[in-house]
A and B are shown apart, each in its own frame.
Chain A
Amino acid sequence: MPRAIRGVLIECEPAIKSILVHIDSTELRNDAIIEDLDDTRLIVKELMVKELQKRLNLKLKETYRPEQPLEDDSD
């Protein structure tokens, strides 16, 4: 008898995926990822998607400097 598990399929680049796996294991006590499908896909608990996304954006911001547009009069 097959099982059906409710979740959210996440598709992303391999690099992003490994960051997600890292976040899950270090910050979220393996509580977000249900199933590791392959290099680019994960199944994640519905409730944890937002949290994971937030933490991913934080991680990316640490490494990423957006170049300033020439005529930026910051609003």
Chain B
Amino acid sequence: MASGAPPSFLFSEYLEKLPAATFKKLYQQPSTAFAIFRRMLPALAKVYVQALLYMSEPFSVKSLNVWVAPDGEIASKQALGILRSLHILEVVQPDKTQPQAIQLTANFKKSLRLALEGGGSHNSFGVPSSLPVDPHINIAFLDNWAGTIWHTILYYVVDSFPSTLGQGPGRSRAAPKLAVKGLLEAGGLVRVAQGGQTQISERGFNFLLQEANAQVWSLLLLWLEAIDRLRAENKEAVKQDNVETLSFLFMLASLELGRAYDTSALTEVRKNMLPFLSDVGLIYIDPNNKQQYFPTRLATTLTSSSSTLRSVVASFDAAVAKTAGDASSLMGNNPSSTHEETGIIVETNYRLYAYTSSPLQIAMLSLFCRLNMRWPNMVTAQLTRESVHQAVANGITANQIISYLAAHAHPQMRRQAAVKGTQLLPPTVVDQVRLWQLECERMTTTPGFLFKDFDTVDEYREMSLYAQEIGVLVWKSDRTKMFFASKVEPLRDWLKMRKKGN
């Protein structure tokens, strides 16, 4: 890719690249502070935030260390590191004589308090529309609508794969909106080959195998980065950053499903986002009434921390999925097939029997299996060395294949495994898939930075220790006094601090 940094597929990566000033502005919105707290923080970091939230004075690092058991020191340092990189926590040291102390950054503290206690007139959690709501727009309608839109996008990506089964009768002919297509191309999920044919790429494969929530975020990230690029090209004032866009996404996540919200209460920037958000199915706007917008389940689960496996388990027990109400219930099979038992049976001879009629699922299987036959309610396939090699060459990992098969296993397999107390998937198959992957992956690669030419042994030892504590150390050699780290910024800052200290 010609244009600088590759697109980040993790939202946390994207956030870490933002400058401190952006965070400051972001945290002015209680909904943003709350969403970050909910979605981005590991449990221990949450504990720290909760402890510090109502402290009026900075809390000394020494007292904090008292809470930490000796064997939890690394976890604690990592949690603090995350908090610092998200600009939630700052270290203060009024003067040299006093010990270092930590506190929450002012904006974050204020906003999170507001979010928890309520009050203020920030309208950060959306303004419900006071106009009458069309009765046909209910939760079921929104689910259905968002599901259709999202499926269309997934089909578009999958469809670009030259499936051995060709165009089955169940294939959806609808295409996603032009803007979405452009985005999938720009993000490298699909490539347009000669003759206008689209082709799925390595990234596209990974995208498909992600869970639903992560897919939504990947697409939104692509979009955010596309906007960034556009701004850079037009040389617009740097001042205009992603604050409005990001905080609107966080706000959407805090809205209530099935409720109408007022579009006129939105700022200009946010209004301009509505068409795209509706193109990807995050919000629904009634064509006859543009005064209101409805967040769909895709939007309201954006910041829920439960990792929702996009599994056929959802359709395996449709009733449960409905009440559980996670995004994955949108991703299940066709409603028509929910009554039968669907899923994949894996045999020890690498044969697969997938009881499904969903073209999406069949296409997914064709990514790493050789499909043999297709019946109205079932396809037979086989895992072969070639098919797995092909998948690995396309960027799919053995673990992804295995977890896909496990997540979509047929209920019969689950029952058998439960009765006999054996593993869900035949161990031979699991091992063989891993071995096949090893055959094509003769080396593992880790991008990062090599640190060398240290002045003293102490410098090397302290710095590599610090790298280990914050979890960026990949490899080190005490003999040659070199180490390899996945990130350079925190270490550079540490080095500066150390220089100042001396």
CB atoms of B452 and A69 under 8 A apart:
no
- How near does chain B come to A69, taking the closest CB pair, in angstroms? 6
B484 in contact with A9 (CB, 8 Å):
yes
Pick the contact of A2 from B164, B442, B453, B475 — CB < 8 Å? B453
- Find the B residue at minimum CB distance from A52: B443
Within 8 A of A (CB), among B449-502: 449-455, 459-460, 463, 474-475, 477, 480, 482, 484, 488, 491-492, 495
Q: Is the CB of A16 within 8 A of B443?
A: yes
Smallest Cβ distance from A33 to chain B, in angstroms?
12
Cα–Cα, bound, A66→B29 (Å):
59
Using known A-B contacts A4-B450, A75-B164, determine if residue A10 contacts B455 with beta carbons closer than 8 Å: no
User: Which among A8, A9, A13, A53 is the interface contact of B475 at CB below 8 angstroms?
Assistant: A9
A29 at the interface (CB under 8 A from B): no
Shortest Cβ distance from residue B164 to the other chain A in the assembled complex, whole angstroms = 6
Cβ 8 A contact of B448, one of A8, A11, A53: A8
Contacts of A41 in B (CB 8 A): 475
A12 near B: Cβ within 8 Å? yes
- The answer to whether A46 and B447 touch across the interface, beta carbons within 8 angstroms, is yes
Q: Which residues of chain B come closer than 8 Å to A4, judged between CB atoms?
A: 449-451, 488, 491-492
Contact A2 B495 (CB under 8 A): yes
Within 8 A of B (CB), among A53-73: 53, 56-57, 60, 66, 69
Is there contact, CB below 8 Å, between B448 and A7? yes
How many B residues face the partner with a CB closer than 8 A? 33
Does any Cβ of B come within 8 Å of A21's Cβ? no
Find out whether the CB atom of A37 lies under 8 angstroms from the CB atom of B480.
Answer: yes
- The answer to whether A13 and B442 have CB atoms under 8 Å apart is yes
> From DSSP, what is the main secondary structure of chain A's interface residues?
strand
Would A10 and B449 count as touching, CB distance under 8 A? no
CB distance from A46 to the nearest CB of B (A): 6
CA distance in complex: A19, B492 (Å): 35
Q: Are B444 and A69 in contact (CB under 8 A)?
A: no
Given A3-B451, A16-B442, decide whether A9 and B459 contact each other with a Cβ distance below 8 A: no
Complex partner residue of B449 from A1, A7, A12, CB under 8 angstroms: A7
B370 interface contact, C-beta 8 A: yes
* Complex interface residues of chain B between 44 and 99 (CB less than 8 A to chain A): none
Contact flags B369-380 to A (C-beta < 8 A → 1, else 0): 010000000000
In the complex, what residues of A have CB within 8 A of residue B460's CB? Answer: 2
A23 within 8 A of B: no
Residues of B within 8 A of A60 (CB): 442
13 further A-B pairs in the complex, CB-CB below 8 A; given A4-B491, A11-B443: A2-B463, A3-B451, A4-B492, A6-B448, A7-B447, A9-B484, A12-B444, A43-B484, A44-B445, A49-B445, A60-B442, A66-B385, A69-B385
Q: Which residues of B contact A (CB under 8 A)?
A: 164, 370, 384-386, 440, 442-455, 459-460, 463, 474-475, 477, 480, 482, 484, 488, 491-492, 495
Can you report 14 A-B residue pairs in the complex whose CB atoms are below 8 A from each other? A2-B452, A2-B463, A3-B451, A3-B453, A4-B491, A6-B488, A7-B450, A8-B446, A10-B444, A16-B442, A20-B443, A35-B450, A41-B475, A60-B442
